[in-house]
Amino acid sequence: MASPAFERFRFSFFEDPDLPRNGLDMKALAALEGEERSRAEDMLLQYPPDTRA
């Protein structure tokens, strides 16, 4: 089961329709540790959230 911080980060990364305006949930990302931080880093590297960047 994922932590609340990981779920907030995942939502901001994949589901938030206002991602370009709101950006990623950096507080949630900073709160991640261990395996969840590694998973989040992999997501950032493999699936850039905004193709306009």
pLDDT at 53 over 60: no
List pLDDT tens digits, range 1-52: 899 999 999 998 888 888 888 888 999 999 999 999 999 999 888 887 555 4
Both structure tokens of 8: 């907030």
From the number of C-beta atoms within 10 Å of its C-beta (0-12, 13-18, 19+), residue 51 rates as exposed
Residue 41: closest CA among 2, 13, 4: 13
Cβ within 8 Å of residue 14, ≥6 positions away: 47, 49
pLDDT of residue 52: 47
